Structure 1
């Protein structure tokens, strides 16, 4: 049984996760192409070879790369000027494959072998200390990238997404625990000082409302995740 069309398209993309196609990552672009919502010539990192690969899969003619999405070019790697870096972590947050290491208020650096050349770290930098340096000479598109590099980049991007999801869940759990503890403290306060019931009831209602909002948001996220999983099957 052949894989779904979106999976086959995604397998032909370079997995730089650069958003130049107009979508937030390679997977959404693959789904858009499969659904007929996007053309197969919107991936600059794949270049002309990438367009040809997708055209062959889709049974369509080879067409030129859409210039609106950017030019085919040699693969760049981000380079941080360590003397200018202020340790703001904005580039770390922007990197879709966790290729930048560092900590708040400390110098950051790029791991060249992990960088996909997506450019996404450049714009957020408040001190303009990141440069994109070509590392593949005259080789562009798929000639500047390998299938193994693409596969590795996809794995890192998937891990990046799972890490962010886990960190958010852990933070939400901490906030929920604090809200529950606050509610318990208010209930204990009400039991100890019944003369101020109106004010205590108001505070309790605020905390209960916050807990309920967090519960509903968690259910919505779970439902959305379940829907995404169904779409990938």
Structure 2
């Protein structure tokens, strides 16, 4: 018997094809930090193909066809998906803390410190990651139109651009701090506070995912 076509593909090419079938909401419900790492795990670690709620049944079927694996039901531990949605900020309640901006994986929220924030509807993926960090619960999810392949492609691009920007920013800040740290101890304190702030955000997101998983199991 001739080997399967997908088995003859270079690994990186197959990862790219799997990633292209994922909805690119970057919601982390699959247990990975974004869609691309999940795609990589599917190919390289034989991860299950049924861990993407936003992809739904259709997404599982597409992955099964590409990888020649059995079609599975959506893993209930990853949650359910009732349709595409987007975040909306109740502006009169927003205190301008910027935590939602930092949590958004695709830069779909604009605003400044202590000023009202707004979600760019056309850019929001409905990932819900902005909700847990909000200290005043001023973000709600509303149904929206179908999530198209073009939407997914644009979301993937925005996610990639954000990651590149953050990497560059961190590199620049680390370099600047390293150059002046010896004679400006206050910068060390500022850098430590920034790290603590990022850790708090990461912890809030982790606790939110844990609460969501607990609710779904109840």
Per the normalisation by structure 1, the TM-score is 0.72
Bigger radius of gyration: 1
Deviation at 1:174, TM superposition (A): 1.5
| 1:101 correspondence with 2:110 | yes
Aligned to 2:136: 127
Aligned with 2:86: secondary structure?
A: strand
Aligned to 1:179: 181
Aligned to 1:6: 15
Aligned to 2:169: 167
Deviation at 1:58, TM superposition (A): 0.8
Alpha-carbon distance in structure 1 between the residues aligned to 2:27 and 2:81: 13
Aligned with 2:176: secondary structure?
A: helix
Deviation at 1:179, TM superposition (A): 2.7
| 1:15 correspondence with 2:17 | no
In the TM superposition, what are the counterparts of 1:126-145 in structure 2 within 5 Å? Answer: 126-136=135-145, 144-145=146-147
Q: Which runs of 5+ in 2 are unaligned?
A: 1-7, 189-218
Deviation track 1:104-145 (CA, whole Å, cap 9, x = no partner) reads: 111000000000000000000000000011113xxxxxxx21
Alpha-carbon distance in structure 1 between the residues aligned to 2:96 and 2:135: 10
Deviation at 1:72, TM superposition (A): 2.4
Deviation at 1:56, TM superposition (A): 0.2
Alpha-carbon distance in structure 2 between the residues aligned to 1:38 and 1:9: 12
Alpha-carbon distance in structure 1 between the residues aligned to 2:86 and 2:22: 18
Per the normalisation by structure 2, the TM-score is 0.77
Moved over 4 A (4+): none
Q: Which of 42, 49, 67 is 1:40 aligned to?
A: 49
Q: Which of 119, 139, 156 is 1:154 aligned to?
A: 156
How many residues align? The count is 177
Deviation at 1:164, TM superposition (A): 0.6
RMSD across aligned positions (CA): 1.8
Aligned to 1:193: none
Deviation track 1:200-227 (CA, whole Å, cap 9, x = no partner) reads: xxx9xxxxxx9xxxxxxxxxxxxxxxxx
Q: Which runs of 5+ in 1 are unaligned?
A: 137-143, 184-202, 204-209, 211-233
Deviation at 1:177, TM superposition (A): 2.3
Alpha-carbon distance in structure 2 between the residues aligned to 1:66 and 1:86: 37
Q: Which of 36, 41, 53 is 1:27 aligned to?
A: 36
Deviation track 1:49-100 (CA, whole Å, cap 9, x = no partner) reads: 0000000011012121111111122111100011000000000000000000
Deviation at 1:2, TM superposition (A): 4.3
Q: Which of 51, 70, 73 is 2:79 aligned to?
A: 70
